[in-house]
Amino acid sequence: MRLGDLLSTFEGSAPLAAQDQERLDRLYAHLCQQTEMFLGYPVAKDFDCRSVARFLELPLNNIGDPFAPSTYQVDTREFEREVVEFAARLLRAEGDTWWGYVTNGGSEGNLYGLYLARELYPQGIVYFSQATHYSVSKNMHLLGMRHIMIRAQKSGEIDYEDLRATLRIHRDVTPIIFANIGTTMTEGKDDIAKIRQIFAELAISQSYIHSDAALCGFIAPFLAPRPAFDFADGADSISISGHKFIGSPIPCGIVLALKHHVDRIARSITYIGNLDTTITGSRNGLTPLILWLAIKRYGEGGFRARVAHSLEVAEYACCRLREIGIEAWRNPNAITVVFASPGPALCQKWQLASAKGQSHLVVMPNISREQIESFIADLVKDGGAL
């Protein structure tokens, strides 16, 4: 049974007027169809949230800090703590040196990381590559942070020479690195071990590194070689999207940070009997349950298998595109396949995100070889690339 059918069985709700019900039904049918044709965005569709649907009857709110007691008790903060703890272990945070919460998405986690960095180093300069997600410029603007854009390589990874040269000029100012662990278009990953090496060469002793692992937070831990991006590699904070690789019907995410950084900004709020450590006050109580379900369903072994599946199908897609004469490539160990954009009708049909004549497929765990074949058949019919 799909969630829509389940919700319509709830007792006690006033019936909708017939035309309103019809509109909802039409929308539902349209969205089901649109979901079938979904290859261009990194959104896993194979979630199963039936066991938490009944929580929609409750005014859930995880207001405030998930680790501090609150007077608002219609919450799921106990489950949220388990989700954050699972992520902290996966991202190699030591003992109880970490803190985190379930966010509204990767962008909020990135805002949080930058906010912490600004509170610690108000005069710091943020360095980020030109392949960084568009929301980050807005975040830096909101926070009023000084920032410098660094060149990106074709892969999407930051250009270390440009970073080194730029840091050398500003050695007197604390650098705040906004590292991409999977860029939006090509899934390029910045190597924070290399960045730390540059700090060492330039005798920079104070710094902050935020990892934007929106897509790859639950992928990179299972790759060999393991990319340098997490707490053991020297990150100060990490943001992950929940609705991307993990999968959720509601946008969400997880942000983690070193606890001693967060302690510097915590303020006690009497009204909620809690700490004001999160970006928003009221917070979603359903998404922690959805992420908790995914973690229980897959466990580390299941996530590892999902990664292996996506990598295998991504390689298959890349080879098939080349076989039909379309220029296609992917970064090592990436689930994103980049290729010359097809015509607008196919971009629209398969919802392909496209920029500068390039499109990408993001091979999420629910994508099968059969779906790739239907896409390939459409491309062949359409006459291939532009």
Ligand X SMILES: Cc1ncc(COP(=O)(O)O)c(C=O)c1O
Query: Which chain residues interact with ligand X by CB under 6 A?
Result: 105-107, 110, 133, 135, 180, 182-184, 212, 214-215, 241, 251, 253
- Quickly list DSSP for 318-350: HHHHHHTT--EE--TT-SEEEEE---HHHHHHT
Nearer to ligand X, 184 or 287 (CB): 184
* Least CB distance to ligand X at residue 44 (A): 13
The half-sphere exposure of 27 on its side-chain side, counting CA atoms within 13 A, is: 7
- Residues, the chain: 386
Q: At 110, phi and psi to the nearest 5?
A: -70, -40
Smallest separation (angstroms) from ligand X to the CB of 109 = 8
In the complex with ligand X, the residue whose CB is nearer, 274 or 310, is 310
Q: How many CB atoms lie within 10 A of CB 137?
A: 13
- Which residue's CB is nearer to ligand X, number 215 or number 219? 215
CB of 353 to ligand X, least distance (A): 9
| 108 vs 233, beta carbon nearer ligand X | 108
**Minimum CB distance to ligand X, residue 205 (Å):** 29
Shortest Cβ contact with ligand X: which residue? 106
Q: If you search the block for the tokens 């019907």, which residue do you land on?
A: 249
Identify the bridge partners of residue 102 per DSSP, sorted by sequence position: 254
Minimum CB distance to ligand X, residue 211 (Å): 10
Q: Which is nearer to ligand X, 204 or 215 (CB)?
A: 215
Q: Please, which residue, 175 or 251, has the CB nearer to ligand X?
A: 251
Shortest separation between residue 245's beta carbon and ligand X, angstroms? 11
Contact 59, 76 (CB under 8 A): no
Distances (CA, A) of 259 to 116, 184, 208, 262, 287: 11, 28, 14, 5, 23
202 burial class (0-12, 13-18, 19+ CB within 10 angstroms)? middle
Using alpha carbons only, give the angle 300, 301, 305 rounded to the nearest 5 degrees. Answer: 115
Measured from the CB of residue 234, what is the shortest distance to ligand X in angstroms?
20
The widest CA-to-CA distance across the chain, in whole angstroms, is: 70
User: Cβ closer to ligand X: 212 or 230?
Assistant: 212
